[in-house]
């Protein structure tokens, strides 16, 4: 019985070969073109996708900081220490928002400077499962 359970556990936990190809419409076909890889366009495309993901995560963090600071402000009950902590949290969110906007404009300027109109980084696209 122990051998059967061990064999079943091994089969359940071992990886099987996947014989299908799946493409993510949000990412597209990365690394498929040898000419683009040789010119550095593939690296730039990877960088843009990573940068957009980091901007999204940073935006969510700013929203969370503002909400958390607002909730702490409302529930402080007039305590000056809690009020100061809530205000500091909201200031940190504002600083984070400034950093996100600054990085957005800096990367947009650099991409236009080096790559021209090929990479429109300011054109935000929202991925969808349906084309």
For the entire predicted model, the pTM comes to 0.59
Tens of pLDDT, residue by residue over 51-94, are 878 888 899 999 999 999 999 999 988 889 999 999 999 999 99
36 — pLDDT class (breaks 50, 70, 90)? low
CA atoms within 13 Å, Cβ hemisphere of 70: 8
d(CA 41, CA 13): 39
The contacts of residue 100 (CB under 8 Å, 6+ apart) are 55, 58, 59, 62
């Amino acid at each position: 019985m122990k051998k059967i359970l061990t064999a079943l556990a091994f089969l359940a936990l071992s990886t099987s070969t996947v014989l299908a190809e799946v493409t993510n419409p949000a990412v597209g076909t990365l690394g498929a073109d040898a000419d683009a890889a040789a010119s550095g366009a593939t690296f730039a495309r990877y960088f843009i996708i990573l940068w957009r993901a980091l901007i999204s995560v940073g935006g969510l963090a700013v929203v969370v900081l503002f909400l958390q600071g607002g909730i702490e402000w409302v529930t402080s009950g007039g305590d000056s220490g809690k009020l100061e902590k809530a205000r500091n949290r909201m200031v940190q969110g504002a600083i984070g928002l400034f950093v996100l906007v600054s990085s957005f404009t800096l990367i947009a300027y650099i991409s236009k400077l080096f790559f021209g109109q090929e990479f429109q980084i300011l054109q935000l696209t929202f991925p969808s499962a349906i084309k």
